[in-house]
Structure 1
């Protein structure tokens, strides 16, 4: 293995993604997106802002970029805290497995918009006690654990 080669678990066949829990503690709410009807994965389900890492991109950079691209909100990568790690043996766009790092953040700038209406039906704030049930199960579990002050490392068989 050369210095630039990735270990087998993180080779180009494993999808690396970042999700962000934007938790407004003062208002008791969280930011969620609703996937559009044409989504490849979990159409019309609610989810966290989430997206795939670009080749060679730091996972915190992925989180900041995806949040901005999807919602217009900007966060300082230094303020991101790991809330959960989700590992799956396979996924819709990841037949050889995926790893999603879920971050939580409590401070941001910018105005909330649905910056990708071709991908998402809506983006909205939800009271923490009213998180929808039609939600991607793994990220919902990460969200609920985070809201209750618990961290979680989850493994799934795939999505």
Structure 2
């Protein structure tokens, strides 16, 4: 009877030992989160304008959002970035999936990036520009008079949100 060769059994990792190597920034897909705050009573959305020195889309309008920290759930990223940039607070239960953007390449993401866009109708606090070194303006804007230029991928996410199409996926740069 032919005997099957078994793979050697890996020892159980110690609690202080990582179980996987961390991804490198050069090849990993960057995870980003953004939030559409929509005041339905006034039909305004909260937007920020990227500053003139921004590496990506200078002077373009966009949603509050930013990069995921290692080990951070994407909902926590959305909540943290919204608060860091605007001072507005949302709870995890207030976030609803609005859109997913998957790009093959980005300024800080040569391996591509995925932006998970959430929407929220409930929040606390009054928006202010808490990162004036990054953003020129933070303001409520009527959905019928959106400023330009607007970041193309998030403009599509906002369009789907406002038309009630439900969560959609946008892909770009894949060939």
Q: Which residue is equivalent to 2:170?
A: 154
Distance 2:162 2:27 in 1: 33
Distance 1:125 1:115 in 2: 15
* Higher normalized helix content (fraction of residues): 1
Q: Which residue is equivalent to 1:49?
A: 64
Q: Which residue is equivalent to 1:91?
A: 106
In the comparison of the two structures, how many residue pairs are matched? 156
Flag the structure with larger Rg.
2
Gaps of 5+ in 1: none
Instruction: Name the Cα RMSD after superposition.
Output: 2.2
Q: Which residue is equivalent to 1:110?
A: 125
SS in 1 for 2:144: helix
Match for residue 51 of structure 2 among 21, 27, 36? 36
Gaps of 5+ in 2: 1-12
Once the 2 structures are TM-superposed, how far is the Cα of residue 5 of structure 1 from its aligned partner? 3.9
List structure 1 segments (4+ residues) > 6 angstroms apart after TM superposition. Answer: none
Distance 1:63 1:87 in 2: 17
Q: Which residue is equivalent to 1:13?
A: 28
Once the 2 structures are TM-superposed, how far is the Cα of residue 131 of structure 1 from its aligned partner? 1.3
Distance 2:160 2:29 in 1: 25
Deviations 1:27-65 (A, max 9, x none): 110000000000010000000111000001000000000
SS in 1 for 2:82: helix
Once the 2 structures are TM-superposed, how far is the Cα of residue 4 of structure 1 from its aligned partner? 4.5
What TM-score do the two structures reach when normalised by structure 2? 0.83
Once the 2 structures are TM-superposed, how far is the Cα of residue 12 of structure 1 from its aligned partner? 6.6
